[in-house]
Structure 1
Amino acid sequence: MKLGPKKRQIGLFGWFSLGLLALVPFGLAPRLAGDVDTDSLAVNLPAAPVGAAASAAARRVVVLGIDGMDPDILREALELYPERLKNFARLAAEGGIHPLGTSIPPQSPVAWSNFITGMNPGGHGIYDFIHRDLMTREPVPGSIKGMAGSHIDLWGQWKFPIGGSSETNRSGESFWVTLAKHGIPADIWRMPANFPVEPAEGLSFPGMNTPALDSPYGTYTIFSSDPPAKKKKSGGQYVEVREFSGRIQTAIEGPPNSFKQGDPHQTAPLTFWVDHESQAVAIDVGADVVVLEPGEWSDFVTLEFELLPASLMNMSGTVRFYLRSIDPEFELYASPVNIDPVNPVSPVSEPVAASAEVVEAIGYYYTQGMAEEVNALKDGALNDIEFMDQTKLIYNQRVRMMDYALDRYLEKDGGLFFFYFSTVDLSCHMMWRFHDEQHPQHVFVKEIAQADSSEWSGRDGSTWKEVVYDLYMLMDPVLGQLRERIGDDACLMVMSDHGFAPYRRKFSLNRWLVEEGYMTLKAGRTPELARDDPDYAQVFIMDAVDWSKTSAYGMGFNGLYLNLAGRELDNPDTVEDESGVVAPGQEADALLAELKSKLEALRDDGEPVVLSADLASDVYRGARSAEAPDIQVGFNAGFGNSDASSTGRIPHAIMADNLGGTFNGNHLMAPEVVPGILLTNGKVLPGAHALEDLTIEILEQYGLHAGEGQDGHRVLE
């Protein structure tokens, strides 16, 4: 039986985080309420080093990872605001400001995997936030691989889940695991692409790609007395509420309940007591009551989600609230439900008990990997200032966490310390249009850009137009605090995974492939209509493409794949034959050369759109090179693949202004456009250095050398 086209309405973050939730054993082994079995998860560490190894282990190496910090922007900020960047100026004077080669492509999970393993993507196997299914051509997460489980039907709505597994898709050994094998201590704090958490001889915490409890990326909720007609948004949802005698009764969605048919999201009850006279709301979550006035954020509160009746099996999560307004309409924001660090359903630290110890020291914190509320800003559920206020809350929390982390680290005689900040990256993604007068979105924020931002920045006379520089200035006291604590004898490296550039024009690779004849649609199918057309609907390649007449397709932010015979497979669930048609060898090579030439010749008002269309065979080496996209499209500054095309859609236009609620600063470009940064208190060796070189430098600091498949070289004299 022929399957008709499927209707999909899936947000961007939903695709590239899809499946992360499977890493959390929600349906397999949720904990009984209150249980944390730390003994069963203890890490077996090697014996303490002796002799020369003990001397090496006593060395202190400290790495501060600042996602998205750009060397050129730091230089500009130092020139404009030298008094606000004294710590960076001091470090730059000691060792210079160096560009750090990023990954191909410059995407965070790819770049951080280069750093973690000391390998290029051909070795570790992570090529994009988004990979593709070889049969269906549907987008799948790049960072994980898994096998679906099954279940036994019980009675009524109940079932018993069986099996299912997921694991990281990254190959190669993490550098802190290598250190642990040699008895060298390492504390790893909020490392991206470190979920499930890999233990160290010390503490290990995950960062980016750590799921929320309610969904892989995290789903915000807006409780509103006047919600929009479309309540479901790309990254969250509106819940309509009604007030009766000052009381609002509602519920918040938590984790999927795999003991129920259909895996519905389990809810926890909420009661809001509204006092119009005093302009305050009391939020009753059962165990806690929080009182907020409009414009106030709550601390985290704990919620219990009952998976089985009579609390036979509960799951604990944490959430924080922000009261937007009481009158004339009630509107309350609730964060995604985070994994509870005190009672985690899946470890958010190694040892497992370490996350609860952090809570005891600094209070509850975001365990969600990407905590900055990008989706709510994209959807208009929070405004720019509210987003930046939330970003500042996260920043302040990270500063307290780093201070505690240093307390723990300095109790030891030596070893490695790594700490990660996301502040610059995610805020630059969303706030670049304030800084960039040439951005097509700038006209819409021009008035706000001139407004005073001193309450946020802490800098008298600042405006939102300077927000990118102010983000860098926020990191200066972090660096100062770090240096004061670790002393002058420690080897210090400040690094980033990539830099930043404007994203003003969006190119749609799949639409271009249709126009150029490399992709053919089924009879009667067309690319998407304009957004304002009443018949507009999303069009996906997996539904609309005639694969027997298609030679190439796009998937992911930078990836182009040939429809290669013997690799791209038929989908047995359809009557069509979706098998690849391009013959490997001479035919494929000629097609790749043709595509590369055409892409690099693309111009938009005279500007090159693509700086480099890199063939996988030219830029990757390693055991997993065959899994790579055949071409990585390296965009020029100002350009990028549209969100729609990146997730397998065929948009209306090949090229368009980057308008709407999307990233307006970006780094998904040619690597030479957005290098990372390296500052150090040591002397950097001449020549070019890249992320995987830092990995080797860390190992060499402890007397260890590059292992099999590692690409890097030493960085410091």
Structure 2
Amino acid sequence: KALISNGSFKDLKIINPAQSPVSWSCLACGVNPGKHGIFDFIHRNPKTYLPRLSICSPSSHGGTTLQNDLKAIPFWKYTSRAGIPTTIIRWPVSFPPERINGELLAGLGVPDVCGLLNSYRFFTTRPENWKRSQNLEKIILTGDSFIGRIPGPKKNFGVKAEIEFTGKISPDKSSVSFQIQNTNIVVKAGEFSSFIDLTYKVGLLKKIKALCTIYVSKIPKTKNDALEFYVSSPEIDPRKPALQFTYPDKFSKNLSDKIGVYHTLGIPEDMNAAKVGHLPLNAFFEQCRTVDNERMKMLDYELAKFNSGVLAVVFDTSDRWQHLGWRGSALTPGKDNQGTIVNEYYEKNADKIFGKIRKAIDKNTALLVFSDHGFTSFERAFNMNNWLVENGYMTIKGDVSEKDSAMFKKVDWSRTKAYCLGFCDIYLNIKDREGKGIVDPKDAASLKKEIAARLGNFIDPETQIAPVYKVYDAHQIYFGDYQKDGPDLVVGFIPGYRMGWQTAIGGLANKICDTEKSEWKGDHLVDASFVSGTLLVNFPLIPKQPGTLDIAPTILDLSGVSVPANMDGVSLWDKEKTGSEN
């Protein structure tokens, strides 16, 4: 409140789609997706139709190198070129890290040692009680003892390395003791372990260091009870990183020496496990608090040594907290409040963060606090590929079930005009662009208008609600050299609806609209107009609606660096009201 009363607090306009990789790239670079090349979490290879992650995928040059799809220059490169000390902590889509005039710790996009964004395991003696999943591992009790394996990175010849471990239930059934390589650790029911060191042997003389944690959710008291525990993704060990995720490389260890061992995964808060019940919600929120505490230590460390330049620290646990903690209903009049779980997070964390910063900076230091998007409820899933099939734009070969439909396995491309991949995107199957395209480029404009109009008229038969707020022609909202790599249509849903999980990976569900049954209750994958971000600053702003494209130009202007002509945003700093240009 003190910061708001002495500064400016406004909504921050964001660009469709309201996705973190897109918004954070706009914030970093000051350009629209057509110029920075990030359109969704998931992009596609137009020749094969196969999906890939925009924030971390194998390099097009082959080998084991990883890359992201960001093509534009972030503000920290400009400040570095100007010789300004620059520190960037956990900014999304910054992996692999680039050389800067300072230090960089990459955020969203950093993989585990398997090269994946998440590869947790859920061990249970009752796998039949759970939906089949690649994360599910069966264990067999011999008396009170068991053996398990933690999968890791691939060896030189392609087989996954594994670490075998043993465990034993305590006589009083209150805890489980684990023997994992050189670690002996006892984990009580309903508690997390501390970090556990892992060493994978991936070659004759090559070893990879990693870290994991264990959460024991159930210990059997009778023969009919299950033993169940969660093992987190094998994360990069910051003390001996298998992959460079900081610049300079030694920064990861230096930081660990100062604040202790910390989570390195892009999203260490395991929403995937919590969504399906493999990690209980109370444990998930505890995991979130642990990550936030680490981030607070990073902030303390950086503030203590900050004298001049640019310091950016990203706290994004609030996003994960809201995905699983949202309790409002946008589709039920009068019940759209986010609920006490979300309120608790902001009440306990926001003031703590702002208080630290206000004490650490002087009146000559500019402060910008902003979010990449807002939030709403996720109650109904819209399965776009089902809609495309039922409306004659996509054709399927024979019968197909949900589990074998991913990545367009049963699509007849010779009779398909459009397909959906990602969380907001529709692509036309255009000749000479797609591998098996059939749509003449000259017919693309009329086909886009037709699909947009029919989607806008669709009514969910179960709710009698129109889920689609607006369908955008991507060529009218994006411009730049990389517009050609993006989708043809961008779908904006009303609050309460979102693209279905199967659609995102090129699959089909059982019907067009369905109730979301998982613990994932909150989301932002709706039309951007419904989930604006927020902006809070301690300096006067020009009379303009702030947007994500304006943040990078503002940072450069405040730093005394000329704003590049190719940036789409403008500086928000009102120098006249400040009374000084310094």
- TM above 0.5, one fold? yes
Select which of 130, 155, 171 maps to 1:276: 171
**Are positions 1:466 and 2:466 aligned together?**
no
CA deviations 1:531-577 (Å, max 9, x no partner) are: xxxxx6432463322222221111111101111112112xxxxxxxx
Select which of 432, 441, 452 maps to 1:584: 441
How far is the alpha carbon of 1:249 from its aligned partner? Answer: 3.6
Q: Distance in 2 between matches of 1:611 and 1:222?
A: 38
Q: Distance in 2 between matches of 1:639 and 1:291?
A: 43
Q: Distance in 1 between matches of 2:508 and 2:340?
A: 36
Q: Distance in 2 between matches of 1:540 and 1:517?
A: 19
* One-letter amino acid matched to 1:633: V
Q: Distance in 1 between matches of 2:132 and 2:302?
A: 39
Q: Distance in 1 between matches of 2:302 and 2:260?
A: 14
**Are positions 1:370 and 2:282 aligned together?**
no
Please name the residue that 2:148 is paired with.
250
> How does 1:332-411 map onto structure 2 within 5 Å?
332-408=229-305, 410=306
How far is the alpha carbon of 1:102 from its aligned partner? Answer: 1.4
Please name the residue that 2:456 is paired with.
600
How far is the alpha carbon of 1:362 from its aligned partner? Answer: 1.8
CA deviations 1:185-207 (Å, max 9, x no partner) are: 11100111111012321110011
Q: Distance in 2 between matches of 1:115 and 1:477?
A: 24
* One-letter amino acid matched to 1:588: A
Select which of 487, 494, 509 maps to 2:369: 494
> How does 1:115-264 map onto structure 2 within 5 Å?
115-144=27-56, 146-147=58-59, 163=63, 165-228=65-128, 233=133, 236-244=135-143, 247-257=145-155, 259-260=156-157, 263-264=158-159
Please name the residue that 1:157 is paired with.
none
**Are positions 1:510 and 2:404 aligned together?**
no
CA deviations 1:256-304 (Å, max 9, x no partner) are: 22x12xx222112323243223733332323332222222222212111
Report the CA distance shift for 1:591/1:435 in structure 2 as closer, same or farther (over 3 A). Answer: closer
Q: Distance in 1 between matches of 2:187 and 2:393?
A: 57
Q: Distance in 1 between matches of 2:203 and 2:210?
A: 16
How far is the alpha carbon of 1:648 from its aligned partner? Answer: 0.8
CA deviations 1:632-659 (Å, max 9, x no partner) are: 0111111111111121112221112222
Secondary structure (helix, strand or coil) at the match of 2:246 reads coil
* One-letter amino acid matched to 2:389: V
Q: Distance in 2 between matches of 1:541 and 1:400?
A: 41
**Are positions 1:544 and 2:441 aligned together?**
no
Select which of 14, 36, 50 maps to 1:102: 14
CA deviations 1:209-249 (Å, max 9, x no partner) are: 11011341222223334443668525x222414245x5434
How far is the alpha carbon of 1:308 from its aligned partner? Answer: 2.5
Q: Distance in 2 between matches of 1:238 and 1:181?
A: 50
Q: Distance in 2 between matches of 1:504 and 1:202?
A: 44
Report the CA distance shift for 1:634/1:369 in structure 2 as closer, same or farther (over 3 A). Answer: same
Q: Distance in 2 between matches of 1:521 and 1:607?
A: 27
Q: Distance in 1 between matches of 2:509 and 2:147?
A: 41
* One-letter amino acid matched to 1:687: K
| Number of residue pairs the alignment of both structures matches | 565
**Are positions 1:295 and 2:159 aligned together?**
no
Please name the residue that 1:427 is paired with.
321
My pick for the range that moved more, 112-121 or 322-331, is 322-331
**Are positions 1:694 and 2:568 aligned together?**
no
* One-letter amino acid matched to 1:508: N
Q: Distance in 2 between matches of 1:606 and 1:95?
A: 44
Q: Distance in 1 between matches of 2:148 and 2:544?
A: 61
Q: Distance in 1 between matches of 2:423 and 2:497?
A: 12
Secondary structure (helix, strand or coil) at the match of 1:421 reads coil
How far is the alpha carbon of 1:678 from its aligned partner? Answer: 0.2
My pick for the range that moved more, 607-616 or 549-558, is 607-616
Q: Distance in 1 between matches of 2:514 and 2:173?
A: 48
Q: Distance in 1 between matches of 2:173 and 2:472?
A: 62
Native 8 Å contact 2:17 2:424 kept in 1: yes
Q: Distance in 1 between matches of 2:485 and 2:19?
A: 17
Gaps of 5+ in 2: 575-582
Please name the residue that 1:81 is paired with.
none
Gaps of 5+ in 1: 1-88, 151-162, 443-448, 450-463, 529-535, 570-577
Secondary structure (helix, strand or coil) at the match of 1:520 reads coil
* One-letter amino acid matched to 1:264: V
* One-letter amino acid matched to 1:497: D
* One-letter amino acid matched to 1:593: K
Report the CA distance shift for 1:219/1:397 in structure 2 as closer, same or farther (over 3 A). Answer: same
Please name the residue that 1:519 is paired with.
394
How far is the alpha carbon of 1:327 from its aligned partner? Answer: 3.1
Native 8 Å contact 1:123 1:709 kept in 2: no
* One-letter amino acid matched to 2:207: N
Q: Distance in 1 between matches of 2:197 and 2:61?
A: 29
Please name the residue that 1:619 is paired with.
477
Q: Distance in 1 between matches of 2:464 and 2:562?
A: 48
CA deviations 1:359-395 (Å, max 9, x no partner) are: 1122111100101111111221122212112212222
Q: State the Cα RMSD in Å.
A: 2.4
Q: Distance in 1 between matches of 2:64 and 2:186?
A: 42
CA deviations 1:102-124 (Å, max 9, x no partner) are: 12211111111111211100001
Secondary structure (helix, strand or coil) at the match of 2:79 reads helix
* One-letter amino acid matched to 2:206: M
* One-letter amino acid matched to 2:342: V
My pick for the range that moved more, 605-614 or 346-355, is 605-614
How far is the alpha carbon of 1:502 from its aligned partner? Answer: 1.4
Report the CA distance shift for 1:147/1:217 in structure 2 as closer, same or farther (over 3 A). Answer: closer
> How does 1:562-573 map onto structure 2 within 5 Å?
562-569=428-435
CA deviations 1:602-624 (Å, max 9, x no partner) are: 33445432222111121011111
Native 8 Å contact 1:321 1:335 kept in 2: yes
Native 8 Å contact 1:219 1:237 kept in 2: no
Report the CA distance shift for 1:135/1:344 in structure 2 as closer, same or farther (over 3 A). Answer: same
Please name the residue that 1:307 is paired with.
202
Select which of 295, 317, 330 maps to 2:227: 330
Native 8 Å contact 2:20 2:372 kept in 1: yes
Q: Distance in 1 between matches of 2:260 and 2:285?
A: 21
Report the CA distance shift for 1:230/1:436 in structure 2 as closer, same or farther (over 3 A). Answer: closer
Q: Distance in 2 between matches of 1:186 and 1:678?
A: 21
**Identity of aligned pairs, percent?**
29
Report the CA distance shift for 1:243/1:480 in structure 2 as closer, same or farther (over 3 A). Answer: farther
Please name the residue that 1:457 is paired with.
none
How far is the alpha carbon of 1:182 from its aligned partner? Answer: 0.7
How far is the alpha carbon of 1:141 from its aligned partner? Answer: 1.8
